[in-house]
Amino acid sequence: MTEIKILKIGGSVLTDKTVLESAKMEAIERIAAEIAGHDSGLILVHGAGSFGHIHAKNYSLVERLSREGVLETHRSVVRLNDLVVEALRRAGSSPVPVHPLSCTILRDGRIEAMQTDQFGEMVDWGLVPVLHGDVAVDRSRGAGIVSGDQLVTHLARSLEPEIVALGTAVDGVIFNGKVLAEVKREDLPEIGSELGPSAGVDVTGGMRGKLEELLDLADEGISSLIFNAEKAGMIERVLGGERAGTLVEVKA
């Protein structure tokens, strides 16, 4: 079986989160080129950025079901997913889009069930699944948002990856102006107040939401990296097994 690596690229890296559906094409092409040389066993998840978050907010999807909002939000994130998939294909990778709406059920905003058997098969056959933050059916409220971060932790729990890495628009978890080399559960009370929301429109919690997801994962014995994917070369280094940014560490 191929060793699995899970990489998430945040929506702030791929889009301008303040302007509706504005993809940063140069960044997408560069990231695709960096990934293409290191895509064995890779599952890629990307955030929604200004595709998805703005629709989700306009339709108040986190608070209540909007049937129109489900369609518009999903279609929007699929448009970004198409851009990422096409860039990967141009770069020489073999991407395949996977839309969480079609294989995930939520309850109270959390993943209750997700079909994941296909991912091991896909990577074994040389395909690179490309998932994204999405809208999904929620048993308790009709529909909800499943963030890329939640997808990453869910996949990590079921697939036992060798690498879990989250590429963001910052160098890692920043406290007192410095990048922390590692963060553990016990650090959260001290650093929590400094973890700001992300720039632009965001319905899924920014750095704090990310860290909470990753600390839950660390509690289960899986560590992960938060690194800067805006810096050229970082994705290649991280996929090559290098430690960069902040390690969200399992308890000692």
The binding site for ATP comprises: 8-12, 49, 206, 210
- Sites for ligand IP8 among residues 154-193 (CB under 6 A): none
**Cβ nearer to ligand IP8, comparing 79 with 90:** 79
Confirm or reject binding of residue 77 to ligand IP8 (CB under 6 A): yes
Confirm or reject binding of residue 204 to ligand IP8 (CB under 6 A): yes
Q: Which of 76, 94, 74, 77 is nearest to 85 (CA)?
A: 94
Contact of 198 with 17, CB cutoff 8 Å: yes
Confirm or reject binding of residue 211 to ligand IP8 (CB under 6 A): no
Confirm or reject binding of residue 138 to ligand IP8 (CB under 6 A): no
Annotated binding-site ranges for substrate: 48, 53, 148
- For 43, phi and psi rounded to 5 degrees? -115, 120
Confirm or reject binding of residue 203 to ligand IP8 (CB under 6 A): yes
**Cβ nearer to ligand IP8, comparing 135 with 137:** 135
User: Quick one: which of 6, 31, 47, 164 contacts ligand IP8 (CB under 6 A)?
Assistant: 47
- What distance separates the 2 farthest-apart alpha carbons in the chain? 47
In the structure encoding, which two tokens stand for residue 70, read together? Answer: 């489900």
User: Quick one: which of 147, 153, 168, 228 contacts ligand IP8 (CB under 6 A)?
Assistant: 147
**What is the rounded CA–CA span in Å between residue 193 and residue 11?**
23
**What is the rounded CA–CA span in Å between residue 249 and residue 155?**
18
**Pairing status of strand 174-175 against strand 134-138:** unpaired
Rg (CA), the chain: 17
List residues binding ligand IP8 (CB under 6 A): 11, 47-48, 52-53, 56, 73, 77, 133-135, 145, 147-149, 203-204
